[in-house]
Chains A and B, each alone.
Chain A
Amino acid sequence: MSSNLLLHFRPRRVPEDALRFTLTWGLGGMAALMVVQQLVTGLLLGFLYEPLPVLAFESVQHIQNNVFLGRLVRNMHHWTGHVLIVVVFLHLLRVFLNGAFCPPRQRNWLVGLGLAVTVLMANFSGYLLPWDQLSYWAVTIATSMLEYVPLIGTFLQEIIRGGVEVEAATLQLFYSIHTTIVPVSLLLLMAYHFWFVRRADGVLVAGRERTAFMDKQKSVPASELLVREVALAAVVTCFLLLFSMFVDAPLGDMANPQLTPETVKAPWYFLGAQELLLHVHPVIAVCVLPLFIALFLIFLPFGKKKAGKPGALVKTLFIAGVIFLLGLTVTGIWFRGPGMKLVWPW
Chain B
Amino acid sequence: MKGLRALLVRDMRIAVRIGGGALMGVLFFLAVVTLTPFAVGPDLALLRRIGPAILWLGALLASLLALDRLFAADHEDGSLDLILMGAAPLELTVATKGLAHWLTTGLPLVVAVPVLGLLLDIEPNAIGVVALTLLVGTPALTFIGLIGAALAVALRRGGLLLPVLVLPLTVPVLIFGVSAADAAIIGPVPFGTPFTILCALTLMSLVVGPFAAAATLRHGLD
- A-B interaction: no
A-to-B contact residues, CB < 8 Å: none
